[in-house]
Every structure is written in C-alpha cells, then in structure tokens.
Structure 1
C-alpha cells in the first residue's frame, strides 16, 4: 500500500516550503519512487514543485501533480458541496498513489482563496488520503508564549478532525526563543515538536528577483551577481564621505542614476571588500554615461547595476514588500533551507514517524543523500587547497549550508574572499589559510625536511615546497589540523597525490595506493577499481586493489562481490593478461577467503544474470558483481568514462585507498556535485580512522 504524508498549516506566511523540501529530502533518501500531489493550486508557476522536480529529478507528469485550481474548487464546493469536491480530489490523489511508493502531499497555503474553513478541508483530505499529517505553524514576529499557544491550538485542531498528526513544526521563530518554544511544546504535546529559527538569507530576495519584481533593466552584471542575496537597502542621497559608512554587507544601493559619485564609490567599496554589496539600483530612469558604465564594469566585474523609471519613494515601497522564495533558479536557498531543517529536526525520528521503509534498491540519489547524512553525523575537517577555484567555492557553499563538515580553504585570504563575494557565496563558516604567510609554514618546513632528508631536501628548499597548496594541505592532514584533503579541480593527479605518497604514505597492510569510482547507475551502485592510479598492476598488486576495493565498498554500504575482469571468462582463454587476472583471483581467495570473488570474468558475465547463467551458472558472483576490478588503467579509465557518458551514470571519485589518512583527487572536469560528494566521502573515510577527532577550529590558525 502506498504511504503518504500531508504537510499543512493553519495560516499563510509560515514558510512551510522549508518543511516540504526537508520532508522530500527524507523520502528520497529511502524511497526510489516518490510522487508529489498538490490538491489545490493557484494560477501561474508553482515554484516549489519546479524546485522539487529539478532537484530530485522527478519524472512524474506535471498534470498528475495538481488537483483543482482554487477558483474551480470554490465553485464546485458552492454548487455541489464539500463531499463532491473531496471525492474529486481523492480520485486524483489515488491516480498518483497507484504509480508511486510514497506520496508527498502539499497542503493549501491560505493565500487569497475563497474557500471557507480551509483548515477543515485540509484535515478532511488528509484523512481521506490515509496520510500522516505534519502541521506547520509560523512564529515570525511573535513572542515565545504566543507561538506556543498557537502551536498547541493547531495540533488540537487537526487532532479534533481525526487526523494522524505525527509531528509539529514551528517555523520562522526568533532564534533567541527557539529553545523556549521547542522544549515546553515537547513536554505538552504527545508528538515530536521541532522549532526552526528565522534565517534572513531565506527571506532575502536575490537581485534577479528584484529585477523581475520591479521590471528593472539590467545595465551591468552577470548571472553570479544577479544571484546575490539582497540583505539590506541603502538609499543614497548624501555626499560620498557620508554615504560610504552607511553601506552594509549585501546591501542593494538605491540612488538616482545621475549620482555617478555614489555609483563609483559603492562599487569601489565592494571591490575593496569594505563592504561587499549586492548591487546598485538606479532610479528616475537616469543612467550614467558610457564612460561611467565602462569604469563601473572594470571596477567591479559582474556586480549588477540595474535601472528603474520610478523615483526612490515608490521604489522603496516595492522593495520593502519583496521576500525571497525557494525556487529552482536559486539552488543555494534550497541548500540553506535543508541545512536549517536538518540541524533542527530529528530526521531519524521523523523518518520513523512517517513510516518510511527503505527501498531494496540503491539509487544514485539515495547514495548521495547517504554520503551527506553520514558525513554530518560525526563532523570532520576537510582542507580544500584550491580556494579560489569557482567550482570549489560553490561546493564549499553547499557543504557549509548543509552543515556537512568543517572546511579549510587555502589561498590568499583577500583573493579567496573577493572571489567568493563576486560569486555571492558566504564563507563565514569556513577557515581561510594562506600557506605563504601562515605561522604553520616554518613548522611544516621542518617536518618536511626531516621526512625527505634522505632525498637531500634542506630546510630552505622545504620552506619553498610547503608553500605549495597541495603540500601545505597534505601536511595539515598529517599533523591532525585537518582530517582529510580534496584537490585536483585544477591540479593534476600527480600534483595532488605525490605529496601524500611522500608525507602520509601507505596504510599498514596495503602494498600500494589505488583508487575506486562509485558508479551510480539507475538502479544500483557499482564500485570500479583501479581507474586512476596504477597503469599496469601485477598479480599481487591487482589482488591488493581488489581487497582494498572490497573494504571501501563495504564501508559505503555496498556489499562486496568481486569480479576480476578480463577478456576471457573462466577457463575459456589463455595468455599473459588472463593468467595475471587468474593468479590475482587466487591470491584474493588465499588472503581473504571470506570475500566472494570470481575471475577471470568478462564484464557482461559479471553484471548480467542471463549471460552469467550461460557462462558461469554455478558462480556466487557472476551476474551480481558489485566490485569490478579492471586488469589495467587503460581498461578501467576508459570503461568508467564510457559508462558515465553513455549510460548517464553518476561517477563519484576517484576515491583513493591505501593511504594512512584520506586524501582524494578530483577530475579536472569535476562538477560542483562531484566535489561535494568527494568531500563527503573523505569526511566519512576520516570517521573510520580510530582516534581521529576533528581538529578544533582554534588549533588550525588562519593566515
């Protein structure tokens, strides 16, 4: 039977989209096929559903998502009664439920509707759908006592209508009142009660939203600039010396278009980082001349300068009425919302309350969710040497917003912060360390000179070497100032892992360092090794790669069944290459008789049950292999890329194995999500090392 959960409230303005997004995140961690149903809809685009569809790769036909428009529902209710309206919506809900394992129902929003007793209608629908109910109450601009009273009344209202209320969420509370709200409610009500604090970055509109709302013309600015949050408004009328101290971080400067001094002054302040602004809005349809615009473009590239025809007063009225919305066009707000939800909601408890049973399949999305959840459970610090690279900064933004791990970025602090500001990224939660000026440089030089003395490395030479970000990051890991390192977005594999070979070295019991990719296919996750490090391993090394890969697979929830790949299956072929794989298979069986392994075996016989039934009918691995070991780098690297590109698989890695401490390499074509996943994997690898607490922030000094 399809399960469902109905997220509903009692009034508008409760910020319920944060809860709906958080619940969808929970569902997709455990369930392969999740449907969405919105019984009542407004005309125009549905921002939340478009966000859910894009973020969770939903394939559900859009027409099945929606029940009835508000106007049509009001007419139907007035002419034929509530029972007819409910019956129609129940029919449409079950059409969705037939095709999905779990359905998320998005309750009505109480916004400009003509439906009487909307709360009763939501309760009735939840009961008819057989859905568990999560009730959301808004706490904005209310005292703690008032919020608690409203929350109790909301719970009792839905309970009185016979609803199965499984949790209550108070959203948008004053951060100072959160504990005072959540604690007493938990004692007073028989269901879990969670309180989410107001987060200004969620309610802040972006510059792009300002442009759309005001019908503004964009004179200057790129996509990154238009995506910046507008956290404040500063209206310019004074002379420049009086105006500049009034600027605040993230402010949108509003000034008549003929005030070239304020325009250039605001952009110069942004470039200097004191403070970084969101952009400049020009009023009265007055525009600077081409020389001023050209200077502005060179002074603060990418920073928006927009123009409206109205004066400052009517423009101000429109601006103050604006509020940020979750949408697919602003993904970082979704990351912020999820981070907020996951920090303040006991997700394991809520998952149990809404009766989500884990699917037998592991989809790419489930695997990625599990990575973030596990890395968050025991925080570790990961160092990212490429601190000015855009993809790394965007990944850091996601990791910080989702509260996945602690981060240290390497590079010149001013350059890193300016690049982040230009991209609209908040790095306040990260450390930034400059290897050239850090007090750690001398300590690391002494250590490196000692480690490499047998190669003739002097202190003076070491002092230069450790200023390299890859060496500096590796030494941070070695010294316990970070728990792992991820690099390679702009550095070669050799530049990333050579310092690890020299400083961290191989783990006890490991003959070599090797790598795996987690290949997330549509219906399963496979582990490929080695596709990145060892060009032509011998039989002993191949066996070591197989054993390491099996351990890595098990660590990340993939039950290892090892296929030692070759162009021949069983005893059907011969030759030096096949003999190497056959010998490696024998060594795996000798060293780890507990591991299921088959080889030599061809790829199709390893993963396709029908082929396996013909070629190796009695094998415990053939047709169901999860760990696939390639005979050489040429075969492995080309195969993983062919599967990634042709089958649309998500390739997570390369994940290095065999080192004493985790260091992982990125492909130079890595996407932001690839970097996020690799950092999460690195944090999980660090968790597995005994006695490896994350370094406290104060012990990893900044430059």
Structure 2
C-alpha cells in the first residue's frame, strides 16, 4: 500500500477540498482509495469537515481522528511518540476496515495551518514521516508573488524530504487567476527554486479560481446572519451569485435582478419589493429577498406580492440596517456546511479533473495501465471494483472521445435543455434539441442559463416534410401512406428516430416526459434489432456507494421466459464488460439453489443452464436470492463455493415487476443514482429516461448513448 500525505505550505490554501479531490481523482482510475484525517482540525465536538465529507461523498469507512484536545495535551507532555502510535493504529483501521481488503492508496490529510496552532507544521512533518508517506504540498498564489511562492516551496519541501532524498510526491497550486501567464509563472518558479527545476517536486495540478464553487446557499446566509426565515421557499437549493443592495431606484437596479441575486432592502422600499416579486413571477430564480432593519412591507404591498412572497422565493429578515448587513455578507467565510454535499461534490469533481494522477503514480513507483481506454493506476492484481466516481469519469472521457451527435426529441423540456447545455460545455456529445429555438431560449433564460453556440436546435416544423418519403419507404410493408406518415412525424420521438435511422445522428435519448413505450416503439419499428439479437432489453447502472452494479431487465420485458431471460443475462453481462465492470451474473429468484421449487424457480434454473451453455466464459449462478448474491457472508452460507454469490455485479431479475420495483426502491431509499435504462439489442442506440430523471441522470444517459454508438460501429 502507498500513502500520500497532503500538507499545506501556509494558511488558507484549500487543504481539505484538495485532499478529498485527490482521493476522488485516484478513485476514478479504479484505485482502491482510503482516506484518513489523523488529528481533528478544531476543538469542536462535531465531526471534522474532511471526515464528514469523506464518509458522505467518498463513502470511506474511516475512524474518528484523534481529538485535538487530546493531541495538544500529549504534545504538551512530551508524548509525541505515543501520539504517533495512536495515529498509526488509526491509519491501519482506515486503510483496511474490518472485513474489507486493504486499500491501494491511503490519502492522509494533515493539519491546516492557523493562527493558534504554530506546532502544526512540524507535527505534519512528523506524521508524514511516521506514516512513511509521500507528501503532496498544497499551496496557492493568493497574496504572494511568484518569487515568494518559490521560496516557500523550497523551504517547506526541506521539512518533508527524507534523508535518502525521497518523500516528495509533488505540489498542487490552488486559486490560480484564469488570466495568468502560466508559462511565465512556471519559468520564474523553476529559475528561483532548485527543488522545482530538478523535478524533485513536480506540479501535480493547477486549480483555477472558480466563482461557482464559492456560491453559498440562501440557507447558509440565513444561518450566518441569524436571520428570521419569513418564507423558507427553496432556501436550501438556491445559491447566491450576487448581492443587490437597494441604494438606488428600481430602474437603476432592475438589470441586477438576475439568477442568484440576493436582494437586500428595507421592507418599506415597496418599489424594490415589488420589483423582486415581479422578477420572481417572471421566472428569474433569485437567491432570495432579505429585509433589513427588522422591517416588513406594508400590508397592502404584502398582499399584492403574496404570490411571490409565499412561494419558492426565500424571504429573510434581520435587525441590522442594509449597510451593516451588506458588510457582514462581504465577510462571510467560504467554508462548506456539512449539509451542502452538492457544493462539495462539485468542488471534488472540479479538483479531480485537474490532478495528474499518472504523474503521481510515476513518482510513487506504481505501475500504469489502461482500463476502458482511460489511463489508470494499477496498484495490485485484485479484480477491479469500479466505484461510482470512476464509472462517471470514464463515461465522460469515453463519450468525449466518441464525439457523437445525439438527438433529444424532448427539446423544450427544462431538464433536457439544462442537460444538453452541460453536455455541450463539457464536450460529452454534440446534442441536437428538437424544439422551437425561441422556446428553448426562453427556458434557458428562465433558468439563468446561456445557450452555447455549439448547441444545435432544430425546429421540427421546418424539417418534418423531408422525412415523409423515407418513413413511407421504411413502413411500406405495413401499408403506411404519406398522410399517415405526416401524422406520425408530428411526434418528435418518431422524427428523431427517423434521423437516427437515416444516419443523420448517432443516438437518441428520450423519456423525460414520454413513457417507455413512446420511446421504444418507434425504435422497434424503424431501427429494429441488431443481428443476432432475439429481443430488446434494458439495464440500469446502479451507482452504489462502493461500486457500480448492473440491474436487468427493469424496464422492457414484463415476463420473459427462460430463453428470453438467458438472452437478457448475456446482453447485460456484455454491457457490464463494455463499461469496465467485471460481470459476475446472479440469476435472481425468491429461492437460492435447491432450497425452493415452483414454476418461477424452475424458469430461473433453466435460464441459468442456458447461459452456462451458450457463454461458458461468463461467471453465472442461479437461482440466487438478492442477499445471497450481494452479501458475502450470506452468499458463503447459502451458496458455498459459488464464484458469484456475495460478489455479484450483474443482477438479472425474473420479471419486470420485480426488477422495476427493486431498482426504484434502491434508488430512492438509499439515495443511489440510477443511470439508464440503457436499451440492449437494437441496431442503433436509443435510450429511455425515467420521467423522474434528474439533470445528471440525463447527462450520463447521453454519455452512455454516445459510447454505445461507438461500440455498435466497431461491431
């Protein structure tokens, strides 16, 4: 096992987010990562920030750190060695929790440097040495010149360098201005510092400033100011991007009432209150309305604006005047609250995108390899357990490489518009929205979004006529006439499917407002099944806390017979393999092995035998109950000697009722992201969405579709 110790060079360099982002970057590459905070950062009795987010977002099973009070007491008594023994014992627990395999890499976060812990720098060096760790230094350009930064890195590196010259993995540079001449900066740093010019301390990542990552929620503002929540609305969801103080007349500040604006005003500024209410009613998602000086609008104004003031718009009140309130807001710290996992998740992904993991691997003497076309670290010969972050990362990288054109028939659906914007901005796919351009623009503006120039919007009314003849030709055996074709093409899903059939796009994603039948029926009629496929089935990629599992079929086939169930299992196993998941196929039933009997059990037994005959290369077992398939201790008891029991990655349900109910129960009860359903067995990729799909669900389904298109082309 390798250990990385993440240490700051000075105060306020973004230590926690960088340490967690580094762990996320390693995890993405399929490395088994553990996280550890040896000593609590503060004297607070609650959970340490980094420990909380490691447990919540990295799903790491880690012990509590040594309380800061205890550590300081031991240091004051000269008991450094005892403290180190306590830390090492905890590190072993973190690296290998009970019943789990040992981690490949243990990421350790040191103490942040502050005004009252002058001992932290030397203690961090002792911790790194005792943990036999390679050190990643975290620094920033905030408040220092390049010359001062070079000196700082040179001095701090000496504290962590081992006697044999090893011990330095590299450094991360945070809070870099976007307009910086980066080449000039690196040249100046290397000229001034030997440890940088020699390559002993390589640059592992550059984290540019990003205002979006500092956006607090309206709820955080309320807590910070001790504000009274007159109307909570979406205070826990809306984020503050700007503060508008009502010092001017409404015509002079109306242009500032934009998405994310927090309007600070006395309640007796009726003109401002009405303007903010009108902006909200017009669809502008303001961060909130904050009344100062303990005031409130007159009853007549409150009644006039009640629809806005009692809706999703957060309304707050403080006793301080507007000037003092604005001054306090300007001093609000950027610490991420424990209940704002969304913001920290974005921060970790942002940092992980900018970490050079391969360089870290080279510095630590770890081998490098390739998994699914994406560079990975290989720190052992164990079978890869693909974690959710690695799955999502590889999904995006492979979709980018595919560069496919994906049509979205529900082009004016708000979630779909937002997903398409994200996909285009991140280079995931070339999205095509089927909708009126004016309507799409209005939806984007209502969400405070800007449509990228590369986002393609096609007005269905302008293109439908040219697909009439091709549709008639495709369906002539069914007696389809031109008027009938015109009527069918009024459905944008049919129109999009025709575009796919003619090769104008590479894939189709629908279902945010349409049923599965509405999405699948045109595909079966116009795209048809792939050669060798006897049916179309589906899988969900379930992003469980520790790994990605495959559920099939939970969307298409109501009651498959044994032959069909075997086909679903083989298709699902191949899909798992195509997306980097080692398939261990569990054929599910209410009975395990020979413990039960009945028609349903016999069907699963027959399907299992068919899979074993047709695909002897697959690890498959059944019938298995879900707990026997997923829990190691239960699997060993109920199906001893099975290569699948307790370790299944592909779960095949006996019917649609069971599959759909289970996936939704797991998704909603456990807070698991379910990507899909991804359809299997078609000649070209068409994928359905749940009508409850989130924007991220749509983004990842578009990425799946782009990758499928590449895979189908290669076949």
Q: TM-score range by the shorter chain?
A: 0.7 to 0.9
- The answer for the alignment partner of 1:372 in structure 2 is 393
- The answer for the alignment partner of 1:123 in structure 2 is 125
Give the distance between the partners of 1:163 and 1:576, measured in 2 at CA: 62
- The answer for the alignment partner of 2:59 in structure 1 is 57
- The answer for the alignment partner of 2:307 in structure 1 is 298
Give the distance between the partners of 2:683 and 2:149, measured in 1 at CA: 52
Give the distance between the partners of 1:265 and 1:525, measured in 2 at CA: 48
TM-score by length of 1: 0.79
TM-score by length of 2: 0.78
Greater CA deviation, 630-639 or 204-213? 630-639
| CA shift in 2, pair 1:34/1:160, >3 Å | closer
Give the distance between the partners of 2:73 and 2:209, measured in 1 at CA: 37
- The answer for the alignment partner of 2:290 in structure 1 is 281
| CA shift in 2, pair 1:560/1:25, >3 Å | closer
| CA shift in 2, pair 1:610/1:160, >3 Å | closer
- The answer for the alignment partner of 2:518 in structure 1 is 495
Matches within 5 A, 1:588-607: 589=613, 592=614, 594-596=616-618, 601-603=622-624, 607=629
| CA shift in 2, pair 1:568/1:208, >3 Å | closer
Give the distance between the partners of 1:579 and 1:58, measured in 2 at CA: 39
Residue aligned with 1:499, SS: helix
Q: Quote the offset at 1:166 in angstroms.
A: 0.8
1:144 and 1:180 in contact (8 A); partners too:
no
* Equivalent residue pairs, number: 672
| CA shift in 2, pair 1:28/1:398, >3 Å | farther
- The answer for the alignment partner of 1:514 in structure 2 is 537
Matches within 5 A, 1:170-249: 170-177=173-180, 179-180=182-183, 184=187, 189-193=199-203, 194-223=205-234, 225-247=235-257, 249=259
Q: Quote the offset at 1:494 in angstroms.
A: 0.7
Q: Quote the offset at 1:200 in angstroms.
A: 0.7
2:215 and 2:241 in contact (8 A); partners too:
yes
- The answer for the alignment partner of 2:15 in structure 1 is 16
Give the distance between the partners of 2:216 and 2:86, measured in 1 at CA: 38
Matches within 5 A, 1:610-649: 611-612=638-639, 627=650, 629=652, 632-633=655-656, 637=660
Give the distance between the partners of 2:681 and 2:426, measured in 1 at CA: 29
Greater CA deviation, 127-136 or 399-408? 399-408
| CA shift in 2, pair 1:525/1:485, >3 Å | same
Residue aligned with 2:39, SS: strand
2:592 and 2:624 in contact (8 A); partners too:
no
2:527 and 2:682 in contact (8 A); partners too:
yes
| CA shift in 2, pair 1:321/1:459, >3 Å | farther
Give the distance between the partners of 2:175 and 2:150, measured in 1 at CA: 13
| CA shift in 2, pair 1:502/1:92, >3 Å | same
- The answer for the alignment partner of 1:338 in structure 2 is 348
1:317 partnered with 2:338: no
Question: What CA deviation, in whole Å up to 9, does each residue of 1:533-586 have, x standing for no partner?
Answer: 22344565445434323321321334446566788979x989899589748955
Residue aligned with 1:66, SS: coil
1:548 and 1:657 in contact (8 A); partners too:
yes
Q: 1:104 aligns with which of 97, 104, 107?
A: 107
Give the distance between the partners of 2:672 and 2:472, measured in 1 at CA: 44
Q: Quote the offset at 1:168 in angstroms.
A: 0.8
Give the distance between the partners of 2:273 and 2:549, measured in 1 at CA: 55
Give the distance between the partners of 1:565 and 1:68, measured in 2 at CA: 46
Matches within 5 A, 1:549-588: 549-560=572-583, 578=602, 582=606, 585=609
Q: Quote the offset at 1:124 in angstroms.
A: 2.0
Question: What CA deviation, in whole Å up to 9, does each residue of 1:143-179 have, x standing for no partner?
Answer: 6666556555544553378771212110110112274
Q: Quote the offset at 1:688 in angstroms.
A: 2.3
- The answer for the alignment partner of 2:172 in structure 1 is 169
2:5 and 2:108 in contact (8 A); partners too:
yes
Give the distance between the partners of 1:390 and 1:630, measured in 2 at CA: 33
- The answer for the alignment partner of 2:77 in structure 1 is 80
Residue aligned with 1:176, SS: coil
Greater CA deviation, 457-466 or 238-247? 457-466
Give the distance between the partners of 1:473 and 1:54, measured in 2 at CA: 40
Q: 1:251 aligns with which of 248, 256, 261?
A: 261
| CA shift in 2, pair 1:631/1:314, >3 Å | closer
Structure 2 gap segments, 5+ residues each: 97-102, 191-195, 367-376, 630-634
- The answer for the alignment partner of 1:697 in structure 2 is none
